[in-house]
Amino acid sequence: MNNQSEVVIRLACFSFVLLAMVVWELLAPRRELSLKRRWRWSSNIGLVILNGILVRFLMPITAVGAALLAQSSGYGFLNFVDWPTWLEIMIGVVAFDLAIYGQHLLFHKVPWLWRLHMVHHADMDFDVTTGLRFHTFEILLSVLIKLAVVFVLGPAAIAVAIFELLLNATSMFNHSNISIPLWLDKMLRFVVVTPDMHRVHHSVIRCETNSNFGFNLPWWDYLFRTYLSQPQDGHDQMTIGVSDYRDETQTEHLPGMLQLPFRSSGRPERN
């Protein structure tokens, strides 16, 4: 897989899932949104475009490219043994998902990393575009973390490509404002993070914010006891966002979003 084909495949999958989630949200919304879509959507999607451009210019290699390099050079744990392809793909995807869970936890616990990640949480509504908005510095750090995982683990390039597609798709899915029957939601939570499960993580209540860190697989929250089933105020009444930042010009307009990590709330920085 070369860089050009990787970009085409990722863009096609991204567009398909985004469109599917938007249509689903319009046909069967989970809760009523409090803000107009015009500014939120243009800012959130604008941030994705900005991040994509900067990553391409600033990062000399993608995670898939790094996997190809690691494989050809024999770097990484998985290159020490001749694994069956299917098993190597499974190990690579699950290991990467655990690494992203750990990264997410780290961005909540380390104050200066939380300042960056807070841009994602500061969205005062919760829909598919929330799953796309991450501060540029967080995205760049995330890419570096993925590259480090690739060279330590040495996964097959196809495993990295599959994980990247899954991560993008599930991030849009589990941030979507879509209605899923409760019985189906309970079943899905055994294999994937659902929107109702992840919405709890976007509550202004701190103990709820510090729960449900999984993006793709829910198993790590169960295993490490960070799982919380429901928000205390219920999904319809819960408040989304960060309690110290409720100004739309800061949280929903692109210039304010980019500046948000460098603003002071006047309170000690703790999460």
pLDDT in tens, 80-138: 888 898 999 999 999 999 999 999 999 999 999 999 999 999 999 999 999 999 999 99
Identify the band that residue 266 occupies on the pLDDT scale cut at 50, 70 and 90. Answer: very low
- For the chain, what percent of residues have pLDDT higher than 90? 82
pLDDT of residue 37: 87
State the burial class of residue 56 (Cβ atoms within 10 Å of its Cβ: 0-12, 13-18, 19+): exposed
Query: Is the pLDDT confidence value at 267 over 50?
Result: no
Please state the pTM of the whole predicted model: 0.92
Q: How far apart are CA 223 and CA 149, in angstroms?
A: 21
Instruction: Give pLDDT tens digits for 191-226.
Output: 999 999 999 999 999 999 999 999 899 999 999 999
